[in-house]
Amino acid sequence: MEIGLLFPGQGSQHIGMGRELFEAYRLARETYEDADRILGYSISDISFNGPEETLRETRNTQPALFVHSVAAFRVISELDLEFSIAAGHSLGEYSALAAAGALEFADALRLVRRRGELMHEAGLKRPGSMAAILGLSQEEVQKLCNEASKIGVVQPANLNSPSQVVISGELAAVEVAVELAQEHGAKRAVMLPVSGAFHSPLMESASVALSEMLAKTTINRANFPIVANYTALPVREPEEIRESLARQVLGAVRWEQSLRRMLSTGVEHFLEVGPGNVLKGLMRSVDKDAIVLSASTPGDIVGLVALLARR
């Protein structure tokens, strides 16, 4: 049974994530211990104990999610599974690349930490916001953004599903787009509590600095294809990986297209490797027959073992 891997991004975090894995599996414990040493502070303590406002800071959220996903992946890698393709939502793309061997754990963790810092700093330099639009097509949301762009920068940032799009840009323009969405019959159009206009041109300074760091980072050929957020196309070679990561913070996360790309390979079983089940819900909106199993707790791992025994 070939498996597709899905790695979550910001928004899936919660206090206590990873604690059960840490306590149950040596590989998970070693992953957290290595991460604490590499970072020079206890990301394990922030993940397990919070407080919430500390975990919610982008510079902590991103490494916390990354370490949890890698710890879970290392545990399931000891099972009799074959991984054929992967994708990660925004920050999750780094988790996917680490799982595929394209990035070494320490290098990826430093990149993720710096990425979070740079995105936070970019949000201070060029303040912006994001909003979720539900119930309108991607084409309709693009039209709203085109109209609101007369006020300022705003564009689709996360193309999550046929009827869920997150937009990003300057506050006034995002607010106008939300008003237009409500006028055009959106089921919901809500501002999001974020610290910046992620995946928009307002992240230009973060992209430039991240590109410089990526240029100095060793990237290996991936063991299996990773569907890049920026293009929704599979990448494996070091230079195309480097370019896609640099462009990712500026451009939209083409998640629906990424899922369809993975499904087109014939994979029917997926693992959501990391906290929550946001990606399972998004997959259901794209293909209700695709099977997505969680892989973030010891209970999930036991379930996978039982599934393998029935093959």
Indicate if 7 and 117 belong to the same structural domain. Answer: yes
Give me the pLDDT at residue 311, please.
65
CB within 8 A of 177, min separation 6: which ones?
131, 133, 144, 145, 147, 148, 154, 167, 169, 189
Backbone angles phi, psi at 30, to 5 degrees: -65, -35
* Integer Cα distance of 308 and 80 in angstroms: 8
Residue type, 147: E
Give me the pLDDT at residue 199, please.
96
Scanning the chain, the segments in alpha helix (DSSP H) are 19-24, 26-39, 43-49, 52-55, 58-76, 92-99, 105-125, 138-148, 171-183, 204-215, 238-248, 255-263, 278-286, 298-309
DSSP 253: B
Of the residues 95, 161, 199, 296, which is catalytic?
199
CATH code of the domain in which 70 resides = 3.40.366.10
pTM of structure: 0.96
* Integer Cα distance of 173 and 176 in angstroms: 5
Indicate if 27 and 163 belong to the same structural domain. Answer: no
Per-residue pLDDT tens listing for the chain (311 residues): 789 999 999 989 999 999 999 999 999 999 999 999 999 999 999 999 999 999 998 889 999 999 999 999 999 999 988 999 999 999 999 999 999 999 999 999 999 999 999 999 999 999 999 999 999 999 999 999 999 999 999 999 999 999 999 999 999 999 999 999 999 999 999 999 888 999 999 999 999 999 999 999 999 999 999 999 999 999 999 999 999 999 999 999 999 999 999 999 999 899 999 999 999 999 999 999 999 999 999 999 988 888 776 76
Of the residues 12, 90, 161, 200, which is catalytic?
90
Indicate if 112 and 239 belong to the same structural domain. Answer: yes
Give me the pLDDT at residue 304, please.
86
**68 counts as catalytic:** no
Indicate if 105 and 147 belong to the same structural domain. Answer: no
Indicate if 70 and 91 belong to the same structural domain. Answer: yes
Indicate if 161 and 48 belong to the same structural domain. Answer: no
How many domains does one find in the chain?
2
Indicate if 169 and 287 belong to the same structural domain. Answer: no
Domain that residue 73 falls in: 2-124+201-309
**69 counts as catalytic:** no
| Contact call for residues 238 and 251 (beta carbons, < 8 A) | no
